[in-house]
Amino acid sequence: MATALLAVDVQVDFCEGGSLAVHGGAEVARRLTSHLRRTKRDYALVVASRDWHVDPGAHFAAEPDYRDSWPVHCVAGEHGSDFHAAFDADLVDVIVSKGERAAAYSAFEGHTGDGRALADLLADAAVTELDVAGIATDYCVRASALDAVRAGFDVRLLGDLVAGVAPDTSSAALEELRAAGVEIVEVGC
Protein backbone atom coordinates (compact mmCIF):
# COMPACT_ATOMS: atom_id res chain seq x y z
CA MET A 1 0.00 0.00 0.00
CA ALA A 2 1.45 3.31 -1.07
CA THR A 3 0.33 6.73 0.08
CA ALA A 4 0.41 9.94 -1.95
CA LEU A 5 -0.24 13.53 -0.97
CA LEU A 6 -2.40 15.80 -3.11
CA ALA A 7 -1.84 19.53 -2.54
CA VAL A 8 -4.85 21.26 -4.07
CA ASP A 9 -4.49 24.69 -5.68
CA VAL A 10 -2.02 26.38 -3.33
CA GLN A 11 -1.81 29.31 -5.72
CA VAL A 12 -1.29 33.06 -5.48
CA ASP A 13 -4.84 33.95 -6.56
CA PHE A 14 -6.32 31.79 -3.77
CA CYS A 15 -4.17 33.31 -1.02
CA GLU A 16 -4.37 36.71 0.64
CA GLY A 17 -3.85 39.44 -1.97
CA GLY A 18 -5.02 37.23 -4.86
CA SER A 19 -8.08 37.74 -7.02
CA LEU A 20 -10.04 35.00 -5.16
CA ALA A 21 -8.28 35.16 -1.83
CA VAL A 22 -9.20 32.67 0.88
CA HIS A 23 -8.45 33.76 4.43
CA GLY A 24 -5.67 31.53 5.73
CA GLY A 25 -4.43 30.48 2.28
CA ALA A 26 -0.88 31.73 2.84
CA GLU A 27 -0.77 29.92 6.19
CA VAL A 28 -1.86 26.69 4.46
CA ALA A 29 1.02 27.18 2.00
CA ARG A 30 3.49 27.60 4.87
CA ARG A 31 2.15 24.69 6.92
CA LEU A 32 1.99 22.37 3.93
CA THR A 33 5.65 23.08 3.18
CA SER A 34 6.53 22.36 6.81
CA HIS A 35 4.55 19.12 6.70
CA LEU A 36 6.25 17.98 3.50
CA ARG A 37 9.73 18.81 4.78
CA ARG A 38 9.04 16.50 7.73
CA THR A 39 7.20 13.72 5.92
CA LYS A 40 8.02 13.69 2.19
CA ARG A 41 9.85 10.36 2.52
CA ASP A 42 6.57 8.81 3.77
CA TYR A 43 4.84 9.54 0.46
CA ALA A 44 5.29 7.49 -2.69
CA LEU A 45 4.27 10.57 -4.65
CA VAL A 46 3.51 14.23 -3.99
CA VAL A 47 1.12 15.80 -6.49
CA ALA A 48 0.09 19.44 -6.68
CA SER A 49 -2.98 20.49 -8.63
CA ARG A 50 -3.42 23.94 -10.05
CA ASP A 51 -6.15 25.92 -11.74
CA TRP A 52 -4.67 26.68 -15.15
CA HIS A 53 -7.25 28.67 -17.07
CA VAL A 54 -6.73 29.44 -20.75
CA ASP A 55 -10.32 30.08 -21.87
CA PRO A 56 -12.70 28.60 -19.29
CA GLY A 57 -15.81 30.10 -20.86
CA ALA A 58 -18.65 30.96 -18.47
CA HIS A 59 -16.46 30.08 -15.46
CA PHE A 60 -15.23 33.69 -15.64
CA ALA A 61 -17.83 36.46 -15.42
CA ALA A 62 -17.85 40.25 -15.15
CA GLU A 63 -20.68 39.82 -12.60
CA PRO A 64 -19.92 36.44 -11.01
CA ASP A 65 -22.44 34.57 -8.89
CA TYR A 66 -19.63 32.98 -6.81
CA ARG A 67 -21.15 29.57 -7.32
CA ASP A 68 -20.88 28.74 -11.01
CA SER A 69 -19.04 31.85 -12.17
CA TRP A 70 -16.09 33.69 -10.67
CA PRO A 71 -13.83 36.70 -11.26
CA VAL A 72 -10.83 36.08 -13.49
CA HIS A 73 -8.28 33.96 -11.60
CA CYS A 74 -5.35 31.60 -12.17
CA VAL A 75 -4.86 32.51 -15.82
CA ALA A 76 -2.28 30.13 -17.29
CA GLY A 77 1.20 31.62 -17.17
CA GLU A 78 0.24 34.72 -15.18
CA HIS A 79 1.45 35.44 -11.65
CA GLY A 80 -1.88 34.52 -10.03
CA SER A 81 -1.55 30.95 -11.32
CA ASP A 82 1.87 30.49 -9.67
CA PHE A 83 2.16 28.41 -6.54
CA HIS A 84 2.28 30.65 -3.47
CA ALA A 85 5.82 31.61 -2.46
CA ALA A 86 5.41 29.92 0.95
CA PHE A 87 4.63 26.60 -0.76
CA ASP A 88 7.88 24.90 -1.72
CA ALA A 89 7.00 23.45 -5.13
CA ASP A 90 10.42 21.73 -5.24
CA LEU A 91 8.86 19.18 -2.87
CA VAL A 92 6.26 18.28 -5.54
CA ASP A 93 6.86 15.32 -7.84
CA VAL A 94 4.10 15.99 -10.39
CA ILE A 95 1.81 18.90 -11.26
CA VAL A 96 -1.75 18.32 -12.47
CA SER A 97 -3.37 21.22 -14.33
CA LYS A 98 -7.14 21.64 -14.55
CA GLY A 99 -9.69 24.01 -15.99
CA GLU A 100 -8.02 25.10 -19.20
CA ARG A 101 -11.23 25.40 -21.22
CA ALA A 102 -14.03 24.82 -18.69
CA ALA A 103 -14.65 24.95 -14.97
CA ALA A 104 -12.85 22.16 -13.13
CA TYR A 105 -12.99 21.87 -9.37
CA SER A 106 -11.56 18.39 -8.84
CA ALA A 107 -7.90 17.58 -9.44
CA PHE A 108 -9.24 14.35 -10.95
CA GLU A 109 -10.50 16.47 -13.88
CA GLY A 110 -6.93 17.56 -14.62
CA HIS A 111 -3.92 16.08 -16.32
CA THR A 112 -0.14 16.06 -16.12
CA GLY A 113 2.11 17.82 -18.62
CA ASP A 114 2.27 14.60 -20.64
CA GLY A 115 -1.52 14.20 -20.64
CA ARG A 116 -1.99 11.58 -17.91
CA ALA A 117 -5.08 11.77 -15.72
CA LEU A 118 -4.53 11.96 -11.96
CA ALA A 119 -6.23 8.59 -11.35
CA ASP A 120 -3.88 6.92 -13.85
CA LEU A 121 -0.84 8.63 -12.35
CA LEU A 122 -1.76 7.36 -8.88
CA ALA A 123 -2.52 3.86 -10.16
CA ASP A 124 0.84 3.72 -11.95
CA ALA A 125 2.52 4.52 -8.62
CA ALA A 126 0.49 1.77 -6.86
CA VAL A 127 -1.13 4.39 -4.61
CA THR A 128 -4.07 3.17 -2.53
CA GLU A 129 -4.19 5.91 0.10
CA LEU A 130 -4.37 9.63 -0.56
CA ASP A 131 -3.80 12.51 1.84
CA VAL A 132 -5.50 15.70 0.64
CA ALA A 133 -4.70 19.28 1.66
CA GLY A 134 -4.97 22.76 0.14
CA ILE A 135 -7.42 25.43 -0.95
CA ALA A 136 -10.43 25.75 -0.79
CA THR A 137 -12.04 23.30 1.60
CA ASP A 138 -15.53 23.97 0.30
CA TYR A 139 -14.73 23.85 -3.42
CA CYS A 140 -11.67 22.22 -5.01
CA VAL A 141 -10.50 20.31 -1.91
CA ARG A 142 -14.02 18.94 -1.41
CA ALA A 143 -14.43 17.96 -5.07
CA SER A 144 -10.98 16.33 -5.24
CA ALA A 145 -11.46 14.32 -2.04
CA LEU A 146 -14.91 13.11 -3.13
CA ASP A 147 -13.57 12.06 -6.54
CA ALA A 148 -10.69 10.26 -4.81
CA VAL A 149 -13.20 8.24 -2.78
CA ARG A 150 -15.22 7.48 -5.93
CA ALA A 151 -11.99 6.30 -7.60
CA GLY A 152 -11.47 3.79 -4.78
CA PHE A 153 -8.76 5.48 -2.72
CA ASP A 154 -8.69 5.56 1.07
CA VAL A 155 -8.73 9.31 1.69
CA ARG A 156 -7.53 11.39 4.62
CA LEU A 157 -8.13 15.12 4.69
CA LEU A 158 -5.35 16.91 6.55
CA GLY A 159 -7.69 19.21 8.44
CA ASP A 160 -5.11 21.71 9.63
CA LEU A 161 -3.71 22.05 6.10
CA VAL A 162 -6.86 23.41 4.41
CA ALA A 163 -8.58 26.79 4.20
CA GLY A 164 -12.13 27.43 3.05
CA VAL A 165 -14.02 30.26 1.42
CA ALA A 166 -16.70 30.55 4.12
CA PRO A 167 -17.28 28.92 7.52
CA ASP A 168 -20.76 27.56 6.72
CA THR A 169 -19.87 26.02 3.37
CA SER A 170 -16.58 24.68 4.75
CA SER A 171 -18.37 23.04 7.67
CA ALA A 172 -20.93 21.50 5.29
CA ALA A 173 -18.10 20.24 3.06
CA LEU A 174 -16.37 18.58 6.02
CA GLU A 175 -19.62 16.84 7.01
CA GLU A 176 -20.13 15.66 3.43
CA LEU A 177 -16.58 14.33 3.30
CA ARG A 178 -16.99 12.47 6.60
CA ALA A 179 -20.24 10.93 5.33
CA ALA A 180 -18.42 9.80 2.18
CA GLY A 181 -15.80 7.99 4.27
CA VAL A 182 -13.02 10.56 4.31
CA GLU A 183 -11.01 10.49 7.52
CA ILE A 184 -10.24 13.99 8.79
CA VAL A 185 -7.02 14.25 10.76
CA GLU A 186 -4.79 16.96 12.19
CA VAL A 187 -1.07 16.70 11.46
CA GLY A 188 0.08 19.40 13.86
CA CYS A 189 1.86 21.83 11.56
The Cα–Cα gap between 150 and 147 comes to 5
Amino acid identity, residue 83? F
Among 6, 39, 41, residue whose Cα is nearest residue 130: 6
User: Of these residues, 15, 74, 140, 189, which one is catalytic?
Assistant: 140
Which alpha helices (DSSP H) does the chain contain, by range?
25-39, 118-124, 142-150, 167-179
C-alpha pair distances (Å), 34 with each of 38, 87, 89, 109, 188: 6, 9, 12, 27, 10
The Cα–Cα gap between 84 and 165 comes to 17
9 belongs to the catalytic site: yes
Count of residues for the chain?
189
User: Of these residues, 9, 131, 138, 147, which one is catalytic?
Assistant: 9
Give the number of C-alpha atoms closer than 13 A to the C-alpha of residue 138, restricted to the C-beta side. 13
Q: Report, in angstroms and rounded to the nearest whole number, the Rg of the chain calculated over CA atoms.
A: 15
User: Of these residues, 98, 131, 147, 189, which one is catalytic?
Assistant: 98
Phi, psi of 4 (to 5 degrees): -120, 160
The Cα–Cα gap between 69 and 60 comes to 5
Residue positions annotated with a catalytic role: 9, 98, 140
